């Protein structure tokens, strides 16, 4: 039979429930700025009614626990987009360094090709002028230096991408280990199928950081999350993590190896690691190849033009540029072979005043190279390619940034702590707590009345 004691017990349950709800609210408020924190809502259920002798009375309230409000699907989408964005960012930051090599700075190839061309035209007008001859030699040296510095700028961008690969791999390993540890803790403390609460928040946050480094695929298993790279190389399986390794490859660049030592470099996409590998192994080698082809073919054409003439000393023209044989390293290795302006093969008929071969030298600048392009066109195409890649990477980063912002907004609208909401809850639970306390004081008053019924003396 229900009695005052029942009311008292129900009142106490109400107090406890409101107390727990106030705890949850204050925890939400305290964590409102914690990255990755998912708001928690108290789950109440009313206890079963009891029917004692035909009298039905309520069973009070039970706090089932705190439920973190999260949307796993949104988390997955955010991870994917994050990977794509940090890949685009890595490429964009590398390319913005590279493109300064191709901006008009006075040291770039367009700025040094021009003086070679104009100094040759000047030489054509005054073939026996020593200063005009020296002008061509100096312009040639500047051009060679410009090839050298552009190539070394590209190589240094490549090696900084290479360093990034090593650093990123070690960050990935650290995160994998932390996630595996959290997997173990969650498996030990949280019953299967239930939300992991703040531990799960932390793990989600780490997976989010991991997806900045490389694209990952996350699946759930009985022992916790299984995380693999985009191509399926395991990083975390439950409580176990698998370290990636790096080793110097045949091209001198750091290769990424899985835990078994297989080379997975070419299969890695997304994230800082994917972006760095893309820049290092595809983008920069492409530019270097164009630059080397240009340096090698131009030097060969110019040297051929030199050999068609006679220099001011009456000797047959010798090679103007020294360039490594083969295309590789041509831009880095090109230098001027001549030591004096008098060695420029100006004359076509052997007389000192002839300018007949200058036209051949000039033609090497304007004729199509074996690549099918004039030197200026070949360089212009390279400038276009660099500019286009840089502009695409930054546009891609902006576009993904927009959609990532949308997704983060959605996630925040599901999981984020609203101070207004929490303040409202604070008032709600405060009122409920006060009401529950009132029940107890009411029961106490009623008990007094009931006890007074059998006695003249007042308690």
Partner 1 sequence: MRVNPNLVPDILADLNQSQQTLNTALQEVSTGKSVTQPSDNPAAAAAMVQNTIETGNVDQYTQNVTSVLSTVQTADSALSNVVSSLTQAVSLGTEGANGTNNTSNLQALAEQVQGILTSVVNQANTSYGGTYLFGGTASTQPPYTADSSSSSGYTYNGNNDTNSVAVGDQTSVAINLPGSQLFSNAATNVLGTLSSLVSALQSGNSSTISSATTAVSSAIDYVNQQRVFYGNAETQLNSQESYLQQETVSLTSQASSLVDVNMTQAATELSQAETANSAALAAAAKVLPNSLINYLGIPS
Compute CA 75 distance to the chain's CA centroid, rounded to the nearest angstrom.
17
> What span, in angstroms and rounded, lies between the C-alpha atoms of 422 and 31?
11
Q: Does 351 bind partner 1 (CB under 8 A)?
A: yes
Residue 96 is a binding residue for partner 1 (CB under 8 A): yes
Any contact of residue 117 with partner 1 (CB under 8 A)? Answer: yes
Q: In sequence order, which residues have a C-beta less than 8 Å from that of residue 17 and are 6 or more positions away?
A: 42, 44, 61, 62, 63, 432, 436
377 near partner 1, rule: CB under 8 A: yes
Candidates 127, 309, 317, 341: give the one binding partner 1 (CB under 8 A): 127
- CB neighbours (10 Å) of residue 106? 9
Helix axes 197-213, 130-189, angle to 10 degrees: 160
Euclidean distance between CA atoms 279 and 158, whole angstroms: 7
Number of residues that bind partner 1 (CB under 8 A): 67
Sole window of 92-100, 205-213, 267-275, 335-343 interacting with partner 1 (rule: CB under 8 A): 92-100
Q: What dihedral do alpha carbons 331, 332, 333, 339 form, nearest 10°?
A: 80
Based on the shown chain and the rule CB under 8 A, indicate whether residue 431 belongs to the binding site for partner 1.
no
Element (H, E) at 415: helix 375-415
Tokens 């005054």 locate to 126
The packing angle between helices 375-415 and 72-99, to 10°, is 150
Cβ nearer to partner 1, comparing 248 with 402: 402
Quick one: which segment of 158-166, 195-203, 267-275, 415-423 binds partner 1 (CB under 8 A)? 415-423
Q: Which of 242, 298, 379, 429 is close enough to bind partner 1 by CB under 8 A?
A: 379
Contact string 128-167 vs partner 1 (x = CB under 8 A): xx--------------------------------------
Residue 422 CB, shortest distance to partner 1, in Å, is 9
Residue from 102, 298, 302, 320 touching partner 1 (CB under 8 A): that is 102
How far is residue 319's CA from residue 304's CA, in Å, rounded to a whole number? Answer: 7
Cα torsion 85, 87, 90, 96: sign: negative
Q: Does 286 bind partner 1 (CB under 8 A)?
A: no
Does 405 sit near partner 1 (CB under 8 A)?
yes
Q: Which is nearer to partner 1, 328 or 423 (CB)?
A: 423
Q: Which of 155, 376, 437, 439 binds partner 1 (CB under 8 A)?
A: 376
Q: Taking Cα atoms as reference points, which of 65, 70, 59, 68 lies closest to residue 21?
A: 65
Q: List residues near partner 1 by CB under 8 A.
A: 95-96, 99-100, 102-104, 110-111, 113-115, 117-118, 121-122, 124-129, 347-349, 351-356, 358-359, 362, 366, 376-377, 379-381, 383-388, 390-391, 394, 401, 405, 408-410, 412-414, 416-421, 423-424, 427, 430
């Amino acid at each position: 039979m229900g009695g005052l004691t029942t009311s008292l017990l129900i009142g106490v349950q109400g107090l406890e429930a409101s107390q727990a709800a106030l705890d949850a609210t204050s925890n939400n408020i305290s964590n409102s700025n914690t990255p990755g924190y998912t708001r928690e809502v108290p789950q109440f259920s009313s206890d079963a009614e009891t029917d004692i002798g035909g009298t039905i009375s309520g069973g009070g309230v039970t706090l089932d626990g705190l439920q973190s409000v999260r949307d796993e699907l949104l988390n997955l989408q955010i991870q994917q987009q994050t990977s794509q964005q940090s890949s685009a960012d890595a490429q964009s930051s590398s390319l913005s360094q590279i493109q300064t090599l191709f901006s008009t700075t006075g040291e770039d190839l367009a700025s040094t090709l021009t003086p070679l061309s104009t100094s040759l035209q000047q030489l054509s007008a005054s073939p026996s002028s020593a200063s005009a001859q020296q002008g061509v030699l100096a312009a040639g040296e500047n051009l060679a230096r410009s090839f050298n510095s552009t190539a070394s700028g590209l190589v240094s961008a490549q090696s900084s991408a290479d360093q990034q690969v090593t650093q990123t791999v070690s960050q990935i390993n650290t995160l994998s280990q932390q996630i595996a540890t959290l997997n173990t803790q969650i498996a030990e403390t949280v019953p299967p199928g239930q939300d992991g609460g703040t531990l799960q928040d932390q793990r989600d946050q780490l997976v989010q950081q991991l997806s900045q480094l490389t694209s990952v695929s996350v699946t759930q298993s009985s022992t916790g999350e299984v995380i693999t790279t985009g191509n399926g190389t395991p990083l975390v399986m439950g409580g176990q993590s698998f370290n990636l390794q790096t080793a110097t490859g045949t091209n001198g660049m750091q290769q990424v190896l899985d835990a078994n030592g297989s080379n997975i470099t070419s299969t890695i996409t997304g994230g800082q690691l994917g972006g760095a590998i893309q820049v290092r192994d595809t983008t920069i080698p492409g530019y270097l190849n164009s630059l080397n082809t240009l340096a090698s073919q131009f030097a060969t054409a110019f040297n051929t033009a030199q050999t068609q003439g006679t220099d001011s000393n009456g000797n047959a023209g010798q090679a103007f540029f020294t360039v490594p044989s083969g295309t590789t390293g041509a831009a880095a290795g090109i230098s001027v072979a001549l030591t004096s302006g008098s060695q420029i093969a100006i004359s076509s008929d052997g007389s000192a005043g002839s300018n007949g071969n200058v036209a051949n030298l000039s033609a090497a600048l304007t004729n199509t190279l074996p690549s099918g392009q004039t030197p200026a066109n070949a360089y212009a195409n390279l400038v276009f390619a660099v500019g286009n890649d840089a502009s695409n990477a930054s546009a891609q980063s902006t576009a993904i940034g927009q959609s990532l912002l949308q997704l983060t907004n959605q996630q925040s609208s599901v999981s984020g702590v609203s101070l207004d909401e929490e303040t409202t809850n604070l008032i709600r639970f405060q009122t409920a707590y006060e009401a529950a306390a009132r029940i107890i004081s009411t029961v106490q008053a009623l008990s007094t009345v009931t006890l007074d019924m059998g006695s003249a003396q007042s308690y």
